[in-house]
């Protein structure tokens, strides 16, 4: 088997909340044989506006990959919600962007919506009930007429 067909990639997402300010801290880490990329973003819990966005390329297939770090700060000021995919393509795409960063953000940023909806819940059941109410009609798991 060739090295390229035996390829594994791990992507890890996490969300926590700052104790004092209450901002959400969103982290993504992508790692494979060619890449080791870490991102950290903070958002307001009420509006989900991105306050800060940082990225580090610890390992990449080209020394030029780290130039995409400059574009990553364009996420600051973005509100996580409707139109997210298009906004990510505009801000992180093109010849100066990075497809891996877009992929990482498409997986990470929607989790902030779940965190906002369920942040005051005392149980997983209560969180799921709230998510069902708030996300109804947005995906197969929460169809429009789901009760």
Q: Per the domain annotation, does 4 fall within a domain?
A: no
Q: Per the domain annotation, does 121 fall within a domain?
A: yes
Give the residue numbers spanning the domain of 59. Answer: 9-135
- The dihedral region occupied by 50, where left means phi > 0, alpha psi between -120 and 50, and beta the remainder, is beta
Q: Per the domain annotation, does 3 fall within a domain?
A: no
Q: What DSSP assignment string belongs to 31-91?
A: EESS-EEEEEEEE-TTT-BEEEEEEEEEE-SSTTGGGGHHHHGGGTTPBSSTTHHHHHHHH
pTM to 2 decimals? Answer: 0.83
Structural domain count, the chain: 1
User: What order do you get walking across the sheet with 50-59 strand by strand?
Assistant: 9-17, 24-32, 36-43, 50-59
State pLDDT tens for residues 26-61.
Answer: 999 999 999 999 999 999 999 999 999 999 999 999
* Distance in angstroms (rounded) separating the CA atoms of residues 70 and 92: 10
Q: Per the domain annotation, does 26 fall within a domain?
A: yes
Radius of gyration of the chain (CA): 17
Q: Per the domain annotation, does 73 fall within a domain?
A: yes
Q: Which two three-digit tokens encode residue 1?
A: 């088997």
Q: Per the domain annotation, does 144 fall within a domain?
A: no
State pLDDT tens for residues 75-102.
Answer: 999 999 888 999 999 999 999 999 999 9
Q: Per the domain annotation, does 143 fall within a domain?
A: no
Q: Per the domain annotation, does 115 fall within a domain?
A: yes
């Amino acid at each position: 088997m060739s090295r390229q067909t035996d390829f594994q990639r791990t992507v890890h997402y996490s969300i926590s909340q700052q104790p004092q300010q209450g901002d959400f801290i969103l982290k993504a880490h992508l790692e494979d044989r060619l890449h080791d990329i870490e991102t950290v973003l903070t958002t307001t819990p009420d509006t989900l506006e991105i306050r800060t966005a940082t990225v580090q390329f610890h390992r990449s297939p080209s020394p030029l990959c780290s130039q995409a770090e400059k574009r990553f700060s364009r996420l600051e000021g973005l509100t996580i919600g409707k139109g997210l995919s298009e906004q990510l393509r505009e801000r992180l795409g093109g010849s100066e962007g990075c497809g891996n960063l877009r992929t990482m953000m498409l997986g990470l940023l929607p989790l902030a919506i779940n965190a906002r909806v369920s942040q005051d819940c005392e149980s997983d059941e209560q969180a799921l009930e709230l998510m069902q109410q708030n996300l109804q009609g947005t995906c197969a798991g929460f169809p429009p007429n789901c009760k």
